[in-house]
A and B are shown apart, each in its own frame.
Chain A
Amino acid sequence: MKVDFRRLGLGVAAPVLAIVVALVLTTLILLVAGDPVLAVWQVLFKVPLPRQIVAIVNEATVLYLSAVAVAIGFKMNLFNIGVDGQYRIASFAAAVFAGAHFLPGWLNIIVAILVSMLTGAVWALIAGVLKVTRGVSEVISTIMLNYIATYLVAFMLRGAAVKVEGSNATSTQILAEDSRVPGISISWLANTSNKVYGLVLLAILIGFLYWFVLAKTRFGFDLRATGQSESAAVASGVNVKRMIVTSMVLSGAAAGLIGMPLLFGQDYAYGDTVQAGLGFAGMSVALLGRNHPIGMAVSALLWGYLNQLSNGLQIGAGVSDRLVLIIQGIIVLSVVVAYEVVRRARQRLEQGRVARELAMQAAPATKEVAA
């Protein structure tokens, strides 16, 4: 198949532009604040150490799953802000289920992952049903459901928690050895004993499924059509209400996967120290990656890279590592603008190109008439 380099170039132009804008603006912020600009960039642009590479990949794995969950909604013009709540309540359910060890080894892991997907899906379903039956904006309902999820999980965690001697951390039952997903060693690639989450393979599989369903199936076509033009989709026979509910459920199920690499590859339990905000980070990653399966992978890695290298900011440059949040924020803001600019440019270019090629085809014919 022929690759359209012009399209590809335009596609890459926007995120690159956004990153450049972010770097320039951050530099200005640093200058205004009187912080050492050079030192900051030296820290952030260092080649990551082997153990950092592992950490970047691990963080990207989780962010990628989150981005896919968000992107399923985005593709339909649905703003599932609730990925954050969905993954936490789903992870909790999975941790409780897996911690009970009803099933042996791998079976326990697989069923627990399914439990997590189901929980996330049900939590998202609430917002979907509210939208199609009562016309409640999914933005509002999912924000509210995030709060409910936070406190519901905190409340249930107290009931489900297991006391650990000598620690006041609250968490679910720690998983047995055989219910853990072993990491993948990359010592052949880089000199580190740290391991990449085994479930990085799950993220790759999900990315492939996401691409396959959207690009190759009838369902994916209906979903994309609805996102591009709801009115045209309705006229083509898409049942938009059913589509909204289905895509919310799929988005929630994908959100259920976000916590799985952490649960089975790092924490082995769900506790009050679990990382929050991954759902929102996923939105940024999806926006930068343009809901594209590979684009989101690249932007998840970029996010992971920035997060990891920012750890050295305080020591290396005397600047708070929160600076990275500013950079990420500016990237997202500028990428939204840049995509719109590129979209219009692309439209204009293509219209011009079509007109030009048609004029060239028509030119000989015109001459005949003139003669």
Chain B
Amino acid sequence: MSAALFAQPTSLEPLAVELTGITKRFPGVVANRDISLQVRKGTIHAIVGENGAGKSTLMKILYGVQAPDEGTIAINGAPVHLKSPTEAIRAGIGMVFQHFMLADNFTVLENVVLGAEKLYGIGDAARAQIRKISDDYGLRVEPDDLVADLGVGDRQRIEILKVLYRGAKILILDEPTAVLVPQEVTELFSNLRDLKAEGLTVIFISHKLDEVLSVADDITVIRRGTTVAAVDPKKVTARQLAELMVGSELPSPQTEESTVTDEVRLELRGVSLAGHGQAKVLDNIDLVIHAGEILGIAGVEGNGQAELVETVIGMRRPDAGQVLLEGSEITGAGVREIRQAGVGYIPEDRHRHGLLLEAPLWENMILGHQTEAPNVKGPLIDAKAAKADTEQVVTKFDVRTPSILVTAGSLSGGNQQKLIVGREMSHKPRVLIAAHPTRGVDVGAQAAIWDLIKAARREGMAVLLISADLEELVGLSDTIVVILRGKLSGQFDPDVVTREQLGAAMTGADQEDE
């Protein structure tokens, strides 16, 4: 729809956003260096870059959370100094965060007016305004719905509506597709195109390149804190874009020939876990993983993946069913016993479950293996051996750190994750549970972690892989199982399955069709 607009020279109209020479230093690091960005009015402009490339700092500058040390910001041709988000909103800039900021027990109306009561009050005027915005942009938001009853896609549209309600003409969306299934992504993109058609400007941050290519009018690439290229999505391939992002060639997860054996490593028989209400969180789960096999679990988040992992590792006890490790029962055993028996664990949330952020790296290497060599000698911690082991893992798994004495919290996400993966791998587990192993890590670390998992599979490890990244699941797994509302609802061969098939199974659309 915008092809005609796109082709026209827009030099007469001022740019919606223009950043020139933006530099932001933090103690010891330059987060942004000489950034220049030109966003044309009424377009969808994508900003792509690895995690840690400086995208979020740039967005914080644009949204007034942080002030740049150098450089200028111009909105609609006029230079501005944004000192706070309030000023950014006044200048017409709104931000939709990756993590929704909605109160579950409030209605849509209440959530939207919260903090903006002065605009249209909190009653019928506000309700009418919400309906109007919803209709204008095809957001399908019902002001009196309770947020707790709504799905992820709905919540995201409410967030967008919140920003529009406050009068934003320029919307920044931070990784908006990270939480969505493919169908919802399609819908979001159609919403974004509607916004654009109404003359709004959308700045879209992502590292999912095929999405960026399908929706963006212009793309700016950030690498190592600076803008390295502004490209036209019609003239560039995903591969070229990715190479601009990482500055070198990048691999993709491709399984080699099958290494699956018939030796059963992990088996779940009829595992159930009761929830708070009537519905079970896990409902009669049966699954088998063999040595040399990667079993991928696909699903929209919150359908029991986390509980499944926590049941296998022993953090939760199933209410029914059995968990067997190499034929012997570990149902209801403690985490420590299960880990000692040879289950490695890469947790979903590395900050909550994987690391002691304020402890040095070598102590973090002990975590989870407090009873195993080389960390202990009898009841005593063998600090010397643990440190030597940490040095090895840091080298072997390419954890970028100046020393093993720095705290885990001072490393970047990718390096924290490599440390965890290295820690778990170095104890040669029989079964590895990998929950979202590459979430929030940069492309380089992602490729490294994929390689490690593949290498482990070749050596005969059995891997339970949980991921929201379909590319990762398809690329790594030997078998993909879909989990929906606590039940395993389908089994797929990653070589032939399509994203749409997986997406349908993940949302239950395939069952409704039958």
Residues of A at under 8 Å CB distance from B?
4, 216-222, 224-225, 228-229, 231-232, 234-239, 343, 347-359, 361, 366, 369
Total contacts A-B at CB 8 Å: 118
**How far is A51 from B431 in the complex, measured between Cα atoms in Å?**
67
Which of A216, A236, A351, A359 is B370 in contact with, Cβ under 8 Å? A236
Which of B347, B379, B411 is A219 in contact with, Cβ under 8 Å? B379
**How far is A173 from B358 in the complex, measured between Cα atoms in Å?**
51
CB distance from B438 to the nearest CB of A (A): 19
Q: Are B345 and A235 in contact, CB atoms less than 8 angstroms apart?
A: yes
Chain B residues within 8 Å of chain A by Cβ, number: 48
Closest partner residue, chain B, to A359 (CB atom): B29
Closest partner residue, chain A, to B345 (CB atom): A235
CB distance from B304 to the nearest CB of A (A): 18
Closest partner residue, chain A, to B25 (CB atom): A352
Residues 354-389 of B, flagged 1 when their CB comes within 8 A of A and 0 if not, give: 111111000100111111000010011101000000
- When distances are taken between beta carbons in the complex, the residues of chain B under 8 Å from A231 are 352-353
A347 with B370: in contact, given A217-B381, A239-B336 (CB under 8 Å)?
no
The 10 closest A-B pairs by CB, nearest first: A352-B28, A237-B336, A352-B27, A357-B402, A356-B28, A355-B29, A235-B353, A236-B368, A237-B335, A350-B410
Q: Are B410 and A356 in contact, CB atoms less than 8 angstroms apart?
A: no
**CB under 8 Å from chain A, chain B span 294-313:** 313
- Besides the contacts A229-B355, A235-B313, what 12 more A-B pairs have beta carbons closer than 8 Å? A216-B383, A218-B371, A220-B381, A221-B363, A234-B335, A237-B339, A237-B368, A343-B358, A347-B407, A349-B27, A351-B410, A366-B224
Closest partner residue, chain A, to B310 (CB atom): A235
- When distances are taken between beta carbons in the complex, the residues of chain B under 8 Å from A351 are 28, 409-410
Q: CB of B138 within 8 A of chain A?
A: no
CB distance from B381 to the nearest CB of A (A): 6
Closest partner residue, chain B, to A229 (CB atom): B356
**How far is A358 from B28 in the complex, measured between Cα atoms in Å?**
10
Q: CB of B121 within 8 A of chain A?
A: no
Q: Are B354 and A352 in contact, CB atoms less than 8 angstroms apart?
A: no
Q: Are A352 and B29 in contact, CB atoms less than 8 angstroms apart?
A: yes
Q: For B335, B339, B347, B371, which residue has the most chain A Cβ atoms within 10 angstroms?
A: B335
Q: CB of B315 within 8 A of chain A?
A: yes
Q: Are B406 and A350 in contact, CB atoms less than 8 angstroms apart?
A: yes
Q: CB of B79 within 8 A of chain A?
A: no
Q: CB of B401 within 8 A of chain A?
A: yes
Residues 249-266 of B, flagged 1 when their CB comes within 8 A of A and 0 if not, give: 000000000000000000
**How far is A225 from B359 in the complex, measured between Cα atoms in Å?**
9
Q: CB of B334 within 8 A of chain A?
A: yes
- When distances are taken between beta carbons in the complex, the residues of chain A under 8 Å from B355 are 229, 232
- When distances are taken between beta carbons in the complex, the residues of chain B under 8 Å from A218 are 370-371, 376, 379-381
CB distance from A65 to the nearest CB of B (A): 24
**CB under 8 Å from chain A, chain B span 392-441:** 400-402, 405-407, 409-411
- When distances are taken between beta carbons in the complex, the residues of chain A under 8 Å from B338 are 237
Closest partner residue, chain A, to B411 (CB atom): A354
Q: Are B410 and A354 in contact, CB atoms less than 8 angstroms apart?
A: yes
**How far is A263 from B370 in the complex, measured between Cα atoms in Å?**
40
Closest partner residue, chain A, to B248 (CB atom): A369
Q: Are A354 and B335 in contact, CB atoms less than 8 angstroms apart?
A: no
Q: Are B353 and A353 in contact, CB atoms less than 8 angstroms apart?
A: no
A354 with B336: in contact, given A218-B379, A232-B353 (CB under 8 Å)?
no
Q: CB of B247 within 8 A of chain A?
A: yes
- When distances are taken between beta carbons in the complex, the residues of chain A under 8 Å from B409 are 347, 350-351
Q: Are B367 and A232 in contact, CB atoms less than 8 angstroms apart?
A: yes
Q: Are A237 and B370 in contact, CB atoms less than 8 angstroms apart?
A: yes
**How far is A128 from B437 in the complex, measured between Cα atoms in Å?**
37
Q: Are A236 and B335 in contact, CB atoms less than 8 angstroms apart?
A: yes
CB distance from B451 to the nearest CB of A (A): 20
Which of A217, A232, A352 is B379 in contact with, Cβ under 8 Å? A217
A-B pairs with beta carbons under 8 Å apart, 30 shown? A216-B381, A217-B380, A218-B370, A218-B371, A218-B376, A225-B370, A228-B358, A228-B359, A231-B353, A232-B353, A232-B354, A232-B355, A234-B315, A235-B345, A235-B347, A236-B370, A237-B336, A237-B370, A239-B336, A343-B358, A350-B407, A352-B27, A354-B401, A354-B410, A355-B26, A356-B29, A358-B401, A359-B29, A361-B400, A369-B247
**How far is A353 from B355 in the complex, measured between Cα atoms in Å?**
20
CB distance from B497 to the nearest CB of A (A): 31
**How far is A231 from B376 in the complex, measured between Cα atoms in Å?**
22
Closest partner residue, chain A, to B368 (CB atom): A236
**How far is A357 from B409 in the complex, measured between Cα atoms in Å?**
16
Q: Are A225 and B410 in contact, CB atoms less than 8 angstroms apart?
A: no
Closest partner residue, chain B, to A350 (CB atom): B410
**How far is A277 from B105 in the complex, measured between Cα atoms in Å?**
45
Q: Are B379 and A238 in contact, CB atoms less than 8 angstroms apart?
A: no
Q: Are B376 and A358 in contact, CB atoms less than 8 angstroms apart?
A: no
CB distance from B514 to the nearest CB of A (A): 39
**How far is A234 from B356 in the complex, measured between Cα atoms in Å?**
12
- When distances are taken between beta carbons in the complex, the residues of chain B under 8 Å from A343 are 358
**How far is A235 from B306 in the complex, measured between Cα atoms in Å?**
13
- When distances are taken between beta carbons in the complex, the residues of chain B under 8 Å from A369 are 247-248
- When distances are taken between beta carbons in the complex, the residues of chain A under 8 Å from B26 are 348, 352, 355
- When distances are taken between beta carbons in the complex, the residues of chain A under 8 Å from B367 are 225, 232, 236
A216 with B380: in contact, given A221-B363, A232-B354, A352-B27 (CB under 8 Å)?
yes
- When distances are taken between beta carbons in the complex, the residues of chain B under 8 Å from A347 are 358, 407, 409-410
Q: Are A232 and B356 in contact, CB atoms less than 8 angstroms apart?
A: yes
**How far is A74 from B378 in the complex, measured between Cα atoms in Å?**
26
Q: For B337, B340, B352, which residue has the most chain A Cβ atoms within 10 angstroms?
A: B352
Which of B28, B335, B345 is A355 in contact with, Cβ under 8 Å? B28
Q: Are B400 and A358 in contact, CB atoms less than 8 angstroms apart?
A: yes
Q: Are B379 and A354 in contact, CB atoms less than 8 angstroms apart?
A: no
**How far is A234 from B353 in the complex, measured between Cα atoms in Å?**
8
**How far is A235 from B343 in the complex, measured between Cα atoms in Å?**
12
**How far is A4 from B335 in the complex, measured between Cα atoms in Å?**
36
**CB under 8 Å from chain A, chain B span 1-57:** 26-29
Q: Are A235 and B354 in contact, CB atoms less than 8 angstroms apart?
A: yes
CB distance from A254 to the nearest CB of B (A): 19
Closest partner residue, chain A, to B30 (CB atom): A359
A229 with B407: in contact, given A218-B380, A352-B28, A355-B29 (CB under 8 Å)?
no
A238 with B336: in contact, given A232-B367, A350-B406 (CB under 8 Å)?
yes
Closest partner residue, chain B, to A360 (CB atom): B402
- When distances are taken between beta carbons in the complex, the residues of chain A under 8 Å from B248 are 369
- When distances are taken between beta carbons in the complex, the residues of chain B under 8 Å from A356 are 28-29
